[in-house]
Chains A and B, each alone.
Chain A
Amino acid sequence: MSCQRLKSWIEERYDVEGIKSLVAHKVIPVHQYDIWYYTGGIAMFFFILQFITGMVLSMYYIPHLEHAHKSIIEIVTKLNMGWFFRSVHHWGAQLAIIFVFIHVFSTLLLKAYRKPRELTWVTGFMLLTISILFGLSGYLLLWDERAFAAVRVATGGAGNLPLVGGFIKAFLRGGIDVTGETLTRFYAFHVAILPIITILLTVIHLMLVQMQGMSIPVSIEKKQHKTMLFFPNMFYKDLIIWLIMLGIMVSLAVFFPPEIGKKADALAPPPENIKPEWYFLFLFQTLKLFPGEILGLNGETVAIIIISLGILFFFLIPFFDKKSSRGEPSPLFTWIGIIYTLYFVVMTLIGFVT
């Protein structure tokens, strides 16, 4: 089974040798922090799985006010393996977002964002935002009480932004309140708009990584270190980790299938102690810290402005961190990174426990 004719057919037309030598010469640095190189690959793997399970689920889902909730119950109770694929899609989403966060915080702490990789950070940050939007839009599609209340709160929160808040809120909701319009809108985001942007940004992100190679932390950059080939060594190690992740995801899906609540009703009171999805908990907790009124201003507006500034600073860190872009250690930004990470982790945990 050597397919010699097919091989030569391709080789006569395309520069296979060039690609082969490119692959053969791609090397990955080996050092004590190299485990963080795998997190991006894991996140990508989960995204690929989400695309696959999402494609089959979309064959049965009906994005309509009346039928959305029922169609999901139909998927779960009537169809072959329906419960499993919904559960896998749910857990795949959770794990994808977890690994996106781990990836972004490891990048932050190891300062992999520094010159010349600022744009990689920018595209990565956009992918993080998109992952969260994926989560939010996908959550509403269930159209049960909790999802309805959560999306109402989240879009309402965005509405508190000064100046642009009203527009964002109206754009997301497609009306004054969360209605059937919002559902079709979020469906469009979830299955058409966000996936295409994700593919585009992922391609750019990967091409940038491919062009510039892996970043090595400042502290060990000067030292002599070993390298390994991307193919086959790194690729095979990636494969092993992906397989373990696949197993974990499937096990979670089997043992903890997500519940389906009662159908959303705009007039009913929201269910007791609703919590947003875990990746919103840190925002939720931060909002709780602020009093209702600060210096005569609406407390929530102030809180949202401060949070937005914090996120904006996070986004622009590569451009502020001048020292590490010169290849010098910059302890200030190490501390900023640690504070950001701790804040996120602690606030999420507090939100989880209370």
Chain B
Amino acid sequence: MKINYSLITRRTFLNTLFGGWIFAMLSGSLYALLKFAFPTLGKEPDFVVLNANDFLNIPPNSVKPFAWGGKLGFFFKKENGTTTALKGVCTHMECNVTYKPELKKFYCACHKGWFDQDGKNIEGPPPKPLEFFDIKVENEKLIVARKGFKVELPKA
């Protein structure tokens, strides 16, 4: 169907554009302001403290998820029994990854990205390897920390 005349006037078009533009700019500025005002927004912790007993006894070649701030973290026991922890978030578009025990690989379903046991990006779009953390066990507590971060627990 072809219309010979415009359904909207120049004025409504301009007003909509004006309002929309102002709205976009204000919300952009407000977002920056809120990011500052809420320090946890989009921010990850430096370390988390977990109960060691829940994690250390998982079977080899499996993972157990934990909360890394608002994101997914994995406690990972390799087949040879060594343990480590990593961020279970794909480096491509920040989807959560899953562990495939039969292939010994991490898989991101969003865009079919694959990582090997050491987190290296081997197939698909991910540009970087997965992020690994330092782990430490201290009287029944499992401390997972960002690599290179010195954890100082408050004396209880």
Q: Which residues of A contact B (CB under 8 A)?
A: 52, 56, 59, 79-82, 84-85
Contact = CB atoms under 8 A, between A and B. Distances in A.
B42 interface: yes
Question: Which secondary structure dominates where chain B touches chain A?
Answer: helix
Nearest to B42: A80
Interface of B: 32-33, 35-37, 39, 41-43
B33 A80 contact: no
A59 B35 CA distance: 13
Contacts of B32: 81, 84
Contacts, number: 21
Nearest to A85: B36
Contacts of A52: 33
Contacts of A79: 36, 39
A59 B33 contact: no
Nearest to B32: A81
9 contacts: A52-B33, A80-B39, A80-B41, A80-B42, A80-B43, A81-B32, A81-B35, A81-B36, A84-B32
Nearest to A78: B39
A56 B35 contact: no
A130 B120 CA distance: 60
A73 to B, nearest CB: 15
A80 B42 CA distance: 9
Nearest to A250: B29
Contacts of A81: 32, 35-36
Contacts of B35: 80-81
A92 B41 CA distance: 26
A2 to B, nearest CB: 13
Contacts of A82: 36
Nearest to A75: B36
Nearest to A57: B36
Contacts of A59: 37
Nearest to B33: A56
